Structure 1
Amino acid sequence: MDPDATGHAAPRSGVRLQPGKRSLRKEWPMAWVEKHGRTWRVRYWKDDGTAGSVPGFLTHDDARDHAVTIQDRRILQPPARTVQADAPLAPAVITPTEGAAAGLCFADWLETWWETIDIGDNTLAQYKSLTKNHLIPRWGAVPLTDISPSQVQVWVKDLYTTHTPSTVSAIRKLLALILTDAVEEGLLTTNPVRKRNRGRTRSHDPAQEKIWADEHEVRAIASRVLQLASPNQALLVITAAYTGMRWGELAGLRRENCHLNGSQPRLVINPQSGALHEINGRLTYGPPKTPASARNITLPTFLAELLANELKRHRHAHIFTSINGKHLRRSCFGRRTWAPAVNGITLADGTVWKPLKPGLTFHGLRHSHKTWLIEDGLPDVVQARRLGHRMDRDIDDIYSHVATALNDKLLGALSARWNRSLTPPSG
């Protein structure tokens, strides 16, 4: 249904939704729709006379439908029971949250919550997406104190019918985080997002085994990437598998961070600008995922030589590029190059590539590297240092005394794998 001339929604029920006048706030619970930047939001009068807001709707119709939901919910609320002047009053039951959270809806608390958190840009973008697409549509207009464990459980159960377990887990964890902070703020006494302890639980399902590739499969994938894209991107695959670097660290790797000469060639992940971040289509240099991710990654001789030759071949500031010499974008590389290389494709000339490693993701190369380290008998501390995982300080101090010997073992094992990959696998 079209909005009226002022942009305010007129619901299907015939009840007109419009900005409430001060004199009407008590007897006429109003809700209306407003343009808010590139999106729409629903505004409504709360019980305390202030205006509440539910933002993040992509279209006017979505916002209007939510406004109708708010309107209908409040109109159908039973009127307060009147008490005769001489009738005795029942004893008042005061809860810790009464007054602090009375009438405060989830969306109102969320606006405050955004101002309290300190997280990276990627995490913030993910949180914004989850709240806009999942949390706000369901819980935006609901008072915090009205969110019950059973409601949350039913909602989460329904999410599993349309979303992957990992997505549902992320949604549930974010809701739990937001409401945990509401408890700490004194707005709730307990968090309604609770651990499942009855019935069938997905946590008891067998964990899906992570897909990884051996050295022969990595070389075969790189060979296909060479044909689909370029030698540069084939080297990207090899570097990922033999260093365990994340996508953002590889896409953001620049010349000044490559120290390929001398007795110990290495790549340096800068703590301030060691990763390329892609947020809402915009590329920026920034810190790697965690403080421990800022590290030096030693290289086996063969990989240092391959990278040195690549730097001679082109003059770009960043090491790995698109075919046109631009920054790599994960989605483009994954769709055009990675997916057909690992999952198979029929080429334009009719050549059929059978699947090499169905389901393997680019991040799976990082898991492959860790699996190789385990197979080659490298201790946990070496794995953590190599992959940029946080370690206990005492363990790190002990490692520093044997770092040279363990690093030699690590590089020797990687070189042996590379040499094995040069000959076809037996059997």
Structure 2
Amino acid sequence: MAFSEKRGKGRDGRMRYRGRYKLPNGRWGSVSRDDQGKPFYTARSAEQYASGLETDVRRKAFINPRDGRMTVAEWTQHWLASIDVGPLSEKEYRLRIKNQILPEWGTVALGDLSPTGIAAWEKRLRLTLSKNYVDGITSVFRTMLDDAVAERLLVTNPVAARKSGRRGRYVPKVKDEKITATPRQVLLIARNGLSMRGLNEYAIVLASAYTGLRIGELAGVHRDQVELKDTGQGARLHSVQQSQYVNGAFTEIDNKYASGRGLILPPFLADLLGELMESRPDSEWVFTAPKGGRLLRGGDWYRETWHPMVSGRAPRGVVRGAKARAGIRPVLGVEGLTPHGLRHSQKVWLDEGRHPRVAVEARMGHVLPGVEGTYSHVTLKMELAIADYLQGLWKESLRPVVDRREFAPYPAFIPARRKRSPRNLPEVVAAV
């Protein structure tokens, strides 16, 4: 039976007590603070709290208060060692935890987490970060605490509890629409890539749009995984891995969602890939870096290559010894398009062509859910029809178009400003 005992006086001079209770293993446990972390100042309050814990033991709902004193940082170490996800997912989890969760909650005990405190933190994040990123952060935090509940370190998940009912202002659900491009706009982007970086950039834009493969998946395609000779079943590209930056080194891992697949290529793309491989006969990969090595895609590529291919670039003469460069016309109507938008574009094209859903989803690397996915199957006839349809879109995109939007002016060239020391700044600027 639970009881209380004196602990001595605290710094404030008040007597403190602790409760003693039987643990599930038959030993005696002790508790000196309540759920709010306040000490017990009376023998009765300590005994009542300990009695409640013994009741939880009998009901098999016992959570040891000492387990709740584990900090979020300590639990994170245990949790990360237990998860079994892909390398890219684990990398993203670690970044979200390191950059957002631990700075705010690392020193806080699991038992001290509250739904309102987490809700206020999430609200602050949404003021400066994108919705998708904040959703990803809270998703990781929620999963961490779900596992803490399963380990009986917490009674309930404070993140999940906040989601149990709608609270606050009503915000209608709006689908996050991706920017997509028409075949003609994809061709213009590819031509910009050709003039900026050569045949490889031209080919990878068209390959992403007309196969639906991600840039990382295209970067991982080896020469022997492409069958360009059509023997009646179409030229094929086999995507079985992707090239990604993992643990400080570029390596090859499985396709996202283990979606390895073979794709029939439209004839124009098969010819283009053959020309590309002939230009790099010594390369192991189909898509390469400018000198034939492994293709790497990082922040510099998005900023220095992809963005000008879509948004244009002003012509520039010789500046401080730097070579002159030609201007790049922007492709209007696709402002903000990302490389992943090329993949979305193919899905839109195939939907417009009314191709069987099972064949479209298979080409995208998706699994068709439900009864339809169980009883529908992809046939060679479906795949050839898709390749023929994409070939028709390509031919249509090559037709000359008299449209003022295709003759958009070059962006204005803004020269880099020289850095001045504070003493040389104009008075108005210095005052600000």
The TM tier, using the shorter chain, reads: 0.7 to 0.9
Q: Is the 8 A contact 1:297 1:386 kept in 2?
A: yes
Distance 2:130 2:401 in 1: 36
Question: What's the secondary structure of 1:335's corresponding residue?
Answer: helix
Which of 111, 136, 140 pairs up with 2:106?
A: 140
3-state SS of paired residue (2:67) = coil
Aligned to 2:339: 362
Displacement of 1:265 after TM fit?
1.0
- CA distances 1:68-111 after superposition (whole Å, capped 9, x unpaired): xxxxxxxxx98734446x99943532253224623111111111
- Partner in structure 2 of residue 423 of structure 1: 399
What one-letter code is carried by the residue in structure 2 that aligns with 1:387? M
Q: Gaps (5+ residues) in structure 2?
A: 1-9, 12-35, 57-61, 318-325, 404-432
For residues 348 and 207 of structure 2, the distance between their equivalents in structure 1, rounded to whole angstroms, comes to 16
Superposed displacement of residue 208, structure 1:
3.6
1:207-258 CA distance string (max 9 Å, x none): 3421000000000000000111111111110010000001111011110111
1:101 to 63, 67, 70: 67
Q: CA RMSD in A?
A: 2.6
SS at match of 2:237: strand
Q: Counterpart of 2:243 in structure 1: which amino acid?
A: L
Taking structure 2 as the reference length, what is the TM-score of the superposition? 0.75
Aligned-partner SS, 1:367: helix
* Cα distance, 1:380 vs structure 2: 2.0
Q: 2:235 aligns with which of 260, 265, 271?
A: 265
> 2:363 is matched by which residue type in structure 1?
R
Matched-pair contact (CA < 8 Å) for 2:309–2:328: no
Alignment deviations for residues 303-350 of structure 1 (CA, whole Å, 9 cap, x no partner):
111111221221211111121222222223222211111012112257
Contact 2:208–2:214 (8 Å) recurs in 1: yes
Amino acid at match of 1:161: L
Are the counterparts in 2 of residues 233 and 321 from structure 1 also a CA contact under 8 Å? Answer: no
> Does the 8 A contact of 2:190 with 2:206 survive in 1?
yes
**2:351 maps to amino acid:** I
User: 2:205 aligned with 1:237, yes or no?
Assistant: yes
Out of 145, 153, 159, the position equivalent to 1:179 is 145
Note if 1:310 corresponds to 2:276.
Answer: yes
**Alignment partner, residue 118 of structure 1:** 84
What is the aligned residue count? 347
Q: 2:295 maps to which residue?
A: 328
- Give the AA of the match of 2:396: R
Q: Which residues in structure 2 correspond to 1:8-407 (within 5 Å)?
A: 80-83=39-42, 89-90=47-48, 92-94=51-53, 96-99=62-65, 101-193=67-159, 194-195=162-163, 197-202=166-171, 204-263=172-231, 264-270=234-240, 274-279=241-246, 281-291=248-258, 293-315=259-281, 316-331=283-298, 332-349=300-317, 351=327, 353-356=329-332, 357-392=334-369, 395=372, 398-400=375-377, 403-407=379-383
1:182 and 1:78 map into 2 onto residues whose CA distance is 19
> CA 1:88/1:408 → structure 2, altered by over 3 Å: closer, same or farther?
closer
Structure with higher Rg: it is 2
Aligned AA (2:329)? W
Q: Describe the SS at the equivalent of 2:289.
A: coil
List gaps (5 residues or longer) in structure 1.
Answer: 1-26, 29-76
Residue 160 of structure 1 aligns to a residue in which SS? helix
Note if contact 2:71-2:110 (Cα within 8 Å) is conserved in structure 1: yes
Q: Secondary structure at the match of 1:90?
A: helix
CA displacement 1:256-275 (0-9 Å, x = unmatched): 111111322111122xxx11
Calculate the TM-score normalised by the size of structure 1: 0.75
Check 1:88–1:98 CA distance in 2 against 1; reply closer, same or farther (3 A cut): closer
Alpha-carbon distance change, 79 to 392 in structure 1, aligned in 2, over 3 angstroms: closer
Paired-residue identity, %: 33
Q: Contact between 1:100 and 1:186, CA under 8 Å: does it hold in 2?
A: no
Q: Quick check: 2:223–2:285 contact (8 Å CA) kept in 1?
A: yes
Whether the 8 Å CA contact 2:315–2:328 is kept in 1: the answer is yes
Aligned residue number for residue 417 of structure 2 = none
